[in-house]
């Protein structure tokens, strides 16, 4: 294995796995697999890039650090020459962590300094300029992320925000340096390392910037960022003839399908509204879930009754509605209860022969993907075709595989659900 990725949630893991598998023209990408948690056995020999999916984004800091170091140990044991700590392109975190503490622990373990911090993903509107993170034309704290129920982002200055999370100083490589080319970026990063900066925020406003940064990082042992930071990395190994690449084609699946949505982002709510105008949908009443009135049996029954109608069950709501429910029942209790509900629903669906499942929301995707992996013996997940930027189809298992699409809340076109099922083989 050449590149190892430690991702702090499941949708983010799929996102960067997709980037590594796809690569950039003309070279293409690497043979890539996604692993649900730290494996307890070696990776398949043909895998060139391995992505470990953790659920550490909202975990307690000590737990996130411990799990990430365990993932690092396994990846290094597979021979990885380069490690990426992958977090969301909206830098989802809090002032206490977890991005800074995890990044710091990895850097200390690898004796790395001047480590790149770049959450940019221009294809979906995430750019970094003068150290500030933008979502399309809005600063991060004006994009809706300030209303995130678990990791509200109220400061777009990545340097300042990261400085709250780590005891080490944070540097910056500006857009003008990136525009000057990869040698200029490499020199600036080396200068930052000599000055004692553990992290260096690097501006990127286009895919070409990411390719430039990727070339500058060909010898870097540790990198941090969103999935976009991986865009230029496969090329380094392919040009050195260390990698042969892989195939992202998958066979379509027959049988019933289901859509599970737990994200409250604006993009997901729009997708749910469009789907509801055409197909069968079930709005989950969260207080009824908390009281035990609505269970996985309820959701599975609705899905079964509406086969052929692309059935969707969702707990998405407006920021105001989510806030009221959290105030009544407690944020952590609501999140844990909904995660368990979607995981139990997925287990029942797999047991009932469902082999195409679309999931929206990072926490929901983590719960569902882990449940599916557990049901199928925790196999490596093969990266399939891209549905929308940053969202591939995942194949779990070999003899009777399940196809998954794990969508981060803010990702995907308005018709994402229909498009995903169509690519998986549903009769649309």
- Predicted confidence (pLDDT) per residue in 190-219, tens digit: 999 999 999 999 999 999 999 999 999 999
Which of the four pLDDT bands, split at 50, 70 and 90, describes residue 172? very high
pLDDT of amino acid 273: 96
Judgement on whether residues 227 and 273 belong to the same structural domain of the protein: no
Q: Are residues 152 and 184 in the same domain?
A: yes
- The band of 379, judged by pLDDT with boundaries at 50, 70 and 90, is confident
* Higher-confidence position of 246 and 241: 241
Q: Say if residues 126 and 89 touch (Cβ distance below 8 Å).
A: yes
Q: How many domains does the chain have?
A: 2
Residues 121 and 193 in one domain: yes
Beta strand pairing status for 49-53 and 3-7? parallel
- Which residues face 204 on adjacent strands? 128
Please indicate, yes or no, whether residues 231 and 342 belong to a single structural domain of this protein: no
341 shares a domain with 275: yes
Q: What is the pLDDT of residue 408?
A: 85
**Rounded (5°) CA angle 391-152-394:** 15
Reported as a single tens digit per residue, the pLDDT across 1-36 is: 999 999 998 888 999 999 999 999 889 999 999 999
Query: Do 161 and 33 have their domain in common?
Result: yes
Q: Which residue from 345, 382, 363 is spatially nearest to 264, judged by alpha carbons? A: 363
Q: Has residue 378 got a pLDDT over 80?
A: no
Asked if residue 123 is part of any domain, the answer here is yes
Domain extent, residue 157, equals 3-239
Any domain includes 245: no
Task: Give the pLDDT score at 201.
Answer: 98
Task: Give me the CATH number covering residue 406.
Answer: 3.40.980.20
Among residues 213, 239, 265, the one where a domain terminates is 239
Query: Is residue 145 scored above 80 in pLDDT?
Result: no
């Amino acid at each position: 294995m050449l590149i190892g990725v430690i991702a702090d949630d499941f949708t983010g893991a799929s996102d960067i796995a997709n980037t590594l598998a796809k690569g950039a023209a003309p070279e293409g990408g690497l043979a890539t697999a996604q692993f649900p948690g730290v494996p307890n056995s070696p990776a398949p020999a043909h895998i060139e890039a391995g992505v470990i999916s953790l659920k550490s984004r909202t975990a307690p800091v000590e737990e996130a650090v411990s799990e990430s170091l365990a993932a690092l140990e396994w990846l290094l044991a597979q021979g990885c020459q380069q490690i990426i700590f992958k977090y969301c392109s909206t830098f989802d975190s809090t002032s206490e962590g977890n991005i800074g503490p995890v990044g710091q622990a990895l850097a200390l373990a690898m004796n790395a300094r001047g480590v790149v911090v770049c959450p940019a993903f221009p294809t979906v509107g995430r750019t970094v300029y003068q150290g500030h993170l933008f979502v399309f034309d809005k600063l991060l704290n004006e994009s809706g992320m300030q209303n995130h129920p678990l990791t509200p982002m109220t400061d777009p200055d990545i340097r300042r925000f990261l400085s709250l999370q780590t005891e080490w100083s944070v540097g910056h490589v500006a857009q003008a340096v990136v525009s000057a080319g990869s040698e200029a970026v490499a020199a600036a990063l080396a200068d930052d390392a000599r000055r004692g900066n553990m992290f260096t925020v690097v501006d990127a406003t286009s895919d070409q910037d990411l390719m430039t940064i990727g070339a500058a990082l060909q010898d870097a042992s540790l990198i941090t960022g969103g999935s976009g930071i991986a865009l230029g990395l496969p090329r380094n190994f392919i040009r050195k003839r260390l990698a042969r690449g892989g195939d992202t084609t998958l066979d379509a699946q027959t049988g019933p399908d289901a859509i599970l949505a737990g994200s409250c982002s604006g993009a997901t709510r729009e997708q749910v509204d469009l789907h509801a105008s055409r197909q069968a949908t079930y709005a989950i009443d969260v207080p009824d879930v908390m009281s035990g009135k609505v269970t996985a049996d309820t959701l599975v029954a609705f899905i079964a009754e509406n086969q052929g109608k692309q059935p969707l069950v969702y707990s998405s709501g407006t920021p105001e509605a989510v806030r009221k429910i959290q105030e009544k029942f407690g944020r952590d209790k609501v999140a844990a209860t909904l995660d368990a509900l979607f995981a139990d629903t997925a287990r029942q669906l797999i047991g009932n022969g469902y082999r195409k499942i679309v999931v929206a929301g990072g926490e929901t995707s983590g719960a569902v993907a882990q449940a599916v992996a557990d049901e199928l013996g925790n196999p490596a997940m093969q990266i399939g075709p891209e549905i929308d930027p940053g969202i591939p189809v995942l194949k779990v298992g070999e003899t009777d595989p399940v196809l998954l699409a794990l969508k981060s809340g803010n990702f995907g076109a308005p018709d994402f659900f229909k498009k995903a099922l169509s690519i998986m083989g549903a009769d649309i």
